[in-house]
Every structure is written in structure tokens, then in C-alpha cells.
Structure 1
Amino acid sequence: MKRRNENQNANKTASCENKRKFKDFCIEIFKVGFVGFGGGNALVPVMEEAFVRNDEFDEDQKTYDKDVLVANLTPGALPVELASALGNHAFGPKGMLLGPVLFSLPGVIMAAVLFMVLSSLSEGALNYINIAAVGVAGFIIALLCDYIAKVFARNKIVSERRFKRTYLVVGLVIFFTCGSAIYKLLGVDVTSVFSISTVHMLAVAFFIAFWLHGNRDALHITTTLVLSFLFMLANGKAGFLSQIPFLLPVVEILMLVLSVVGLISSVRETKVRLELDRVGIRKTFWSWLIFIVVLSIPAVVILQDAVPFLLRDLLSTFMSFGGGDAYLTIADGMFVEQGYISEDIFYSQIITVVNVLPGSILCKTLFGIGFYMGYGTTGVAALGILTGISAFACSVGASCAAFYLIYYLYSGISKMKAIEFIGRWIRPIVCGLLVKVMLALINSGMALDETTGVSRWVILIFIVVLAGVNYYVKKRFKPNPWLMVIVDIIVSLVFFAIL
């Protein structure tokens, strides 16, 4: 009887200790969310300090290193995936679900407040917001330039050959995607031959990765060049070849078939052996599916085209390689170019807000798109927040589902040539796509010439100089991002007031 009471007391003590640790974990991950500036990789040492080097938690260095590696191979929001992994290792399903939500919550709450304020302003007040957004654009362009510079520097360390090829890849992506943005910047009314969307560019990139992935024979190179060129020409702004019956569907089917063939070949070459915890996989994916479905209900009730929109949320997350800044190119292609949200709102309001707040850019961007879709449909900010939550749930759920898929398969697929090829070249491709984002930010700022009377070329020079100063200050002094943004906004308001 005495031993039984001792066991019960021990179990009760262990249960209390586990609850205390879980509470401490929730508080700590929420605190990390408040300092979540600088992108996913910038948060890797922050999370390591909070959970690996902290004796309060049981995360070991080897497990954390694997989490970081898998998160970098996985599309979606890297810090959200790490938060889920940390919670899952320590507390199982409840930690897996609550970790990423609590990490993202500070940024999403602050974003919701700012979106409600922006959506209720008058046209005159919005003009001041757009002027302030020019200052933020200078900050964002500096961040994107820093990202691009790091990609080039990393590839130069690998080899001089990789460095030169990075220039080639970035140049080709700019050539095929940025034509219309460049013509718009120059004020030339010309239709670009290509200027394909981000989605189509990534489709070509994955086709090359799965079908080519290092093969140098004539068959692979010829089919890759011909099919990729036809696909981009048919999907270009000028619409060449789009009138030829069945051409585009045939090209797309061939690209899909060859991608599957190449992927199977890659699996055979590496002799992938998968030893899976099928029960764990089922529980994990059912948990995230239920999470997405339940939180998607508000959008389904409020929005007329909710299902296509939510599916695009999921797809855009699965396509998001290269960090949060890179997701801006995906969002542009999936939502702006397809008419779900206007370019003006996306670049002057959503991007402005998500880049000055902590947390995942991907999650905040989808929350913002969902908010403005709900608000635009109903005119009620509270309903906009509900549709924003649905979009946010898709971003978190898709990110974590992708992470756990790669996590379970990692030991087998990490050596596949196709996966290595994607890991090697996805960041240079993203660099080219980020140039498109920078051009869009500049064009958005130059459009203020109509409401402010300031020459569009003067605005262009101002943005370029401001971005250059931001880049130098960031590299030289590493100031607080909030301080940089506030100074940029003040400088922009003063600049337009003087002129």
C-alpha cells in the first residue's frame, strides 16, 4: 500500500513537472516569436540558445542539427518548421501543433492590428501610407540585395565554376521573368515576349531538376531545352504559340511524364531504401489535415471562391523554397497575377506590414492576403481576420506537413541527384525572381508621381539611393530592423514633403 502511494505520488510529481515544462516551452517559443526578425536562418541560433543550450529543455544538439538540415531542404516557413519539431520532440502532438502557432502568433496579432488600421483609412491618409511604403521599399530592397549577395558569396566559396554558373542562372531567370516590369519602369508601352509568371518559372526549374539533374547526354539536354523554351514561349505575355491547338497541353504532359521518369531514375540510381514509421506518419499528417480543415471553415463560409484560394495557399507554401523573402515572388505569381488581390494592396500595404514585423514572412503574407480578401468581400474587418486565420492555418499546416514528409524520408532521399540538384540551384533561381519583386516595389513607388507631383525618375533615384544606404548601414552597423524602418519612413515623408 505504501509503495503504491509512493508510485502515485511519483507519477503525480512527474505529471506536474511535465506540465510545468510544457508551459515554459510555450512561453519561450512565444518570446522567440517576438524577436523573429531577419528570416528563418537568422533564428536558427536564437532557437538553439533557447532550447538546446538551456538546461530547462531536453533538446540535444544532434537532433536539432538534423531539424535545421531538413528544414533547409523543405519548402515553407523554416522557423515555423523548427518550432514544430522542437515541440514534437519534447511533448508529442500537442507540442507539434502549438509550437508553430505560438511562434507565429506575435507577428500575426500585430499584422492584424495594422491591416485593420490601413483598411479603414481615407484615400488621403492612404496616400501618406503609400509614401511611407516607399521608405519601407528601400529597406526591403536592401534586405533582398543582402540575400542575393549571400547566395553569390556562398557559391563562390564552393567553387569558381559554381559562382560563374550562378550568374548565368540568375541572368536567365531575370530575362524570362522581368521583361514587363523593366518596360514598365522605363515607361515603355511594349509587350514582353516572355515575362512568364513565377509559377511557370518554378515549373520549368523543377522539370529541369527532375529530368536533367546532372545528365549531359544529347537526349536529356535537347528535350530539356526544347520543351522548356516552348513552355515559356507559350506562357509568355506575348502569347506566342498559345493559339496553336493542343501545343501547350502536349508540352505540359511531356514535361510531367519526363519529370516522373527522371525522378524514378534518380531513385533507382541512389537505391533509396525507406524504413518508415507508418503509424507515426499517419498520426502526424492526420493531425495537420484536421488543423487545416477546421481552421479553413471561416474562409469557406465567408468567401465565394474559398476552396480555390485555400488550395493556392497550400500550393504556394509547397512551392516556397529559399526563405520568406523568396516567398514574395510566389505570392505575386499565385495571387496578384491571378487577380485574387490587387498589386497596389499587395506591394503598398501587405509587404510593408509583413517586413516590419517579427515572425514568418510567408505566414504573415498569407494572413494579409486572406484578410484583404475577406474584408473586400464583406467590408467587415473582423470577418477579414477570420479569413486571414484560415489562410494562416494553411501556411502553417502545409509548412509542417512538408517538413515531416522530408523528415521521415530524409535518410532515403537525401542522396537523390534530383534533390541535390534542387538544393544546389533553387537559391540562384530565387535570386532572379527577387529582382522581379524589387522592380515591382520600385514601380509601385514611381506610380506616386500622379498623386504627389514628384517626377517618377526622381522617385526612382531616391529609392535606389535609400536602398544603397540601407544596405551599407545594415552591413556596417547591424542596427535594429525596427529602427531602420522608422528612419526610412521619416526620410521618405520628409523627402516627398519638401518636393
Structure 2
Amino acid sequence: MRKKKQNSDKNLNMKELLFTMFKIGCIGFGGGTALVPVIESEVVYEKKLIDKDEYTKDVVVANITPGALPVEVAAGVGRKVCGIPGMLLSAVLMGLPGTFLTVLILMLINSSGERILQQILFASVGVTAYIIYMLLMYAKGTFRECREKGMAKSGTVFMFLVFLLTSGKDVFQLFGINRTPVFDIATIDVLCAAFFIIFFTGGRFRWSRIILSTVITVAYCLCVGQMHLISSSKVLFGLRLTMIALSIYGLCNGIEGKISFSWKALKKLVQEELGWTLLLMLLSVPALLCFGNTLRFAVRGLISAVLSFGGGDAYLAVANGMFVNTGMISHDEFYFQIASVANGLPGSILCKILAGVGYILGCQDGGVWCGIFVALCGFACSIAASGGTFSAVVYIYEQFENLRIFQVLQTYMRPIVAGLLLSVSTSMLYQNVNLAGWYGWPKAGMALLTIGVILLNVFWRRRGVVRPLQSVLFSAAASLAMCNVFASIP
């Protein structure tokens, strides 16, 4: 009887898990980092599938792992709730909606595809406003949590420093300032600087290490910032070596706790990697049967996914090198078809771009069905590479997570992510305002529409009158209606 009840609970959890991941995949505008609070709201607070500490660990690992961040977080949640099947299916369903829409619109691009994309963009204004609201709530919750833990000052400093270092370009664009910001540093560089400070100082306040780490970090930021005030590659190389050496020194001198190792954990890793490999092989079989260059495409896709640190823009640069510079597809096909469609749709840019490239290659070689099969192979590469890398990094992280320094890292990771999310919210607001520019509408009107939808969500949240999915649908409907009104005005 107890076994039947356990199986019933597991099946129920699986259904809730998969529906939740698919739903989030459908509204996943704004990039991977933007979905962190959305996923947390659903799986931690709404469905209570995992606890907050488990989720935070998944976010930490996903942020230091190359690949599609929302797919990795979904895989992490899935493996805790329903093991390997939950891990694989969660990752697939998180990336599927955006990938499906990308391929569908590429199929219809010469007929009604542009009209469909336009309506999706109009609805995305409201969904973007909802996600901005969630990002602001995440930052507010982070500040409250830091205050409860007695680290209000340090946590807040981390949060706003990360925001200031990463948001320069978006703030300048939002206010129409035609100048290059001093910083506007890539996410991966900010994370490198933050990890250096944490590892070297050990999370303890010691003046000598605080001053030294601050001087080195400022110099590093001046090297990698948009203005490149320190432009010497030798200086940058020296700073990176120094940061690595001091991080190792700090780790070696501050080891407290126990490094754990078990054959059971290693066996689980092997099983997970086999699962990702089988998923890749299964979804690639149709492409292998109809497209002669499937292996070449798959290898390039896997390599590009593993090299994709730094978000969507960074992946576009990697994919450009892998597929455009090598002559597999043309510049116009990549930027004016695939990238333009993918940027207007929900989901991971990595999954959408690889599927789009696969579709174009397959269509050119064997028609629409071949395009669909090669797109499926590209999608499989993005999921398997992201998930497989995530599983490996999770295994390494879990061996060291009992060390005090990794507990400090986990504590400060939330303020760091909150700072990144504040930067993302600025970028998303600019995207909405920029959409008005594309269609010749008043930018102030689009800004007011976005702010209005955010305030509506604040009102609904305080009154407790609607659930999250209803908020998303109402937000999308409001922006869809208003944007079509704007479009009808001559």
C-alpha cells in the first residue's frame, strides 16, 4: 500500500514538474538569467517541488557552467524531483517551446511567418513586463534575506556593484546617451571577479586582503570594460594569472570542512552522462538518415554549446564562428533569418539558434522534412551539451560543497545573481522601448505600457487575486491589445 502511494506521489510530481517546465519555457522571454526568479517562484514556492537551498545550489552551478542556463536549472530541478527521467524531460520541455516556434516561423517566413512573429512580439511586451516585475521581487527578497542573515551591507554592496558593472550599455541606450560606458562588463568577467574576491578573502573581513583584492579587481574591470581604459593584453593576462594564483592561495589557506567522495555519486554521474548521450543519439537518428553532414553539424553544435559562456550575445559570436565563418550557412541566413526570429521568441537562444541552423541546412539539402529532422538534431545538441556539462559540474561542486568557502560562495551568489537580474531588467525595458522604435511608435508610450503592466502585477500580487499563470496571460493580453491599437494608428 505504501509503495503504491509512493508511486502515485512520484507520478504526480512528474506531471507537475513537466507541466511547470513547459509553461516556463513558453514564457521565457529575456534570456536565461531572467528566468531564475520565475522558476524559483514555481518550483520552490508555488509547487514546493524542492526547497530553496537546493534551488540556490542549482543556480550557482548553472551560472558557472557553459550552455543554456534555463535548461541547466530545469535539469537540476528535475534530477532532484524525479531522478534521471525527470532531469532529461525537464530539460527538453524547458527548451522545446521556443525551439518549436523558431522552426515553425522559419518554415512560414515567406508567407505568414512575419505576421505571426509580429503578434508574438506584441504579446512579449506584457510577458517581459511580468518578468521585470519578478526580477524586481527577486532583488527585494534578496535584500530582505541578506538583512535576516546579518549581511545587509555586504550583500547590498555586492548586488549594486554587479548591477553597476553590467548595466552601463543598457542604461545609456535607455536614456539615449550616445557614449561608451566605462564598464558594462560581460557576465562571465563579473563572475570571475566575484569568485576571486570570495576565494581570496574567504568571506572574512581582513583589511590587507580586502584592499589588495579591490585594487586588482578595479584594474581587471578597467581592462575588460567597454572603454578598455587599460588596453594592454599583457596587463590583462598578468591580472588573470594573479587572480588565479591568489584564489588558489586563499583556498589552500582557508580550507575548513570535509571534501566528500563516494563511488555512489560517481556512478550516478556516469548514469546521467549516459542518459544525455542516449537522448542525443535518439533525437539525431532521423537527421542521420536524411542529411549527409549530420555528424559535422552535431560536433560543431556540441562544441559551440560547451564554449557558450556569457549569455545569448556571446553565443551568437560563437555560432557565427562555427557556422558562418566556416561557410556552412550565409551571413544573411544567420543574422536576418535565424537570429532575428530567435531573438523575438521565448526560450534559450542557444537551443533556438542551433535548431534554426539545423533547419536551414536540412532544407537546403533535402527539403522541409529534412530541415525539421536536422533542427531536432541541433536541439538535441544544445540540450545534451548543456545538461551533460551541468551534471559534471554538479558532481565536482558536490564534492566540495561542505567546505566553508563554498558555503560562503553559495551565500553571496544570490546577491550576485540579483545584481545581474537588475541589469537584465534594464535590458528588457530597453527591448520593449526599442520595439516601439521599430514600428515608429512613441517610445514614451511603450515605456508607460511596460510600467503599467508591472504596476498591475504589483496590485494583483498584493491582493492575491490571480495566480502566476493568470498574471502572465493577462499581461500578454494587455500588451497584445495595446500594441495592435498602436499599430492601427496611421
Per the normalisation by structure 2, the TM-score is 0.75
Q: Deviations over 1:219-255 (max 9, x none)?
A: 312321121111111111112212x251111111111
Instruction: Check if 1:212 corresponds to 2:197.
Output: no
Pick which of 339-348 and 111-120 moved more: 339-348
CA distance in 2, matches of 1:302, 1:182: 38
Q: Which residue of 2 aligns with 1:134?
A: 125
The counterpart of 1:437, out of the listed 424, 449, 452, is 424
Q: Which residue of 2 aligns with 1:229?
A: 218
The counterpart of 1:203, out of the listed 192, 211, 235, is 192
- Give 1:484 deviation, angstroms: 2.4
- Give 1:151 deviation, angstroms: 0.9
Paired letter, 1:276:
F
Q: Deviations over 1:327-355 (max 9, x none)?
A: xxx5246425767587998898568534x
Alignment of 1:108-123 (within 5 A): 108-119=95-106, 120-121=108-109, 122-123=113-114
Alignment of 1:90-489 (within 5 A): 96-119=83-106, 120-121=108-109, 122-159=113-150, 162-242=151-231, 244-267=232-255, 270=256, 272-277=257-262, 279-293=263-277, 295=279, 298=284, 301-302=296-297, 305-312=300-307, 316=309, 330-332=310-312, 334-336=314-316, 352-354=345-347, 366-375=350-359, 378=362, 380-407=371-398, 409=399, 413-416=401-404, 418-477=405-464, 479-489=466-476
Q: Deviations over 1:96-132 (max 9, x none)?
A: 4223123444444444433333433433442332222
- Give 1:201 deviation, angstroms: 0.6
CA distance in 2, matches of 1:70, 1:437: 21
- Tell whether the 8 Å contact from 1:210 to 1:260 is kept in structure 2 after alignment: yes
Q: Which residue of 2 aligns with 1:35?
A: 20
1:338–1:471 distance in 2 versus 1, CA, 3 Å:
farther
CA distance in 1, matches of 2:443, 2:408: 42
Q: Deviations over 1:359-397 (max 9, x none)?
A: xxxxx5643343234345555344223211221123333
Paired letter, 1:472:
F
- Give 1:175 deviation, angstroms: 1.7
CA distance in 2, matches of 1:214, 1:260: 14
CA distance in 2, matches of 1:205, 1:220: 14
- Tell whether the 8 Å contact from 2:105 to 2:117 is kept in structure 1 after alignment: yes
1:433–1:101 distance in 2 versus 1, CA, 3 Å:
same
- Give 1:205 deviation, angstroms: 0.8
- Give 1:273 deviation, angstroms: 3.5
- Give 1:78 deviation, angstroms: 4.9
Q: Deviations over 1:263-292 (max 9, x none)?
A: 22222xx1x434522x33442333333444
CA distance in 2, matches of 1:40, 1:349: 25
- Tell whether the 8 Å contact from 2:338 to 2:357 is kept in structure 1 after alignment: no
Q: Deviations over 1:150-169 (max 9, x none)?
A: 1112122223xx22333322
CA distance in 2, matches of 1:261, 1:117: 52
- Tell whether the 8 Å contact from 1:43 to 1:79 is kept in structure 2 after alignment: no
Q: Deviations over 1:10-65 (max 9, x none)?
A: xxxxxxx999987984675144311345414642477767x9xxxxxxxxxxxx99
CA distance in 2, matches of 1:173, 1:462: 28
Paired letter, 1:289:
E
- Tell whether the 8 Å contact from 2:181 to 2:226 is kept in structure 1 after alignment: yes
Alignment of 1:49-88 (within 5 A): 71=58, 74-75=61-62, 77-78=72-73, 80-87=75-82
- Tell whether the 8 Å contact from 2:130 to 2:475 is kept in structure 1 after alignment: yes
Q: Deviations over 1:425-453 (max 9, x none)?
A: 21111111112212222222222234422
CA distance in 2, matches of 1:210, 1:73: 15
Paired letter, 1:195:
D
1:459–1:73 distance in 2 versus 1, CA, 3 Å:
closer
SS of the residue 1:39 aligns to: helix
- Tell whether the 8 Å contact from 2:79 to 2:86 is kept in structure 1 after alignment: yes
Per the normalisation by structure 1, the TM-score is 0.74
SS of the residue 1:442 aligns to: helix
CA distance in 2, matches of 1:226, 1:294: 48
1:171–1:222 distance in 2 versus 1, CA, 3 Å:
same
CA distance in 1, matches of 2:55, 2:171: 37
Paired letter, 1:374:
G
CA distance in 2, matches of 1:102, 1:493: 31
CA distance in 1, matches of 2:397, 2:446: 45
**Structure 1: where are the runs of 5+ without partners?**
1-16, 52-63, 88-95, 317-329, 355-363
CA distance in 2, matches of 1:454, 1:498: 11
Q: Percent identity?
A: 18
Pick which of 288-297 and 198-207 moved more: 288-297
- Tell whether the 8 Å contact from 1:134 to 1:445 is kept in structure 2 after alignment: yes
Q: Which residue of 2 aligns with 1:61?
A: none
- Tell whether the 8 Å contact from 1:170 to 1:428 is kept in structure 2 after alignment: yes
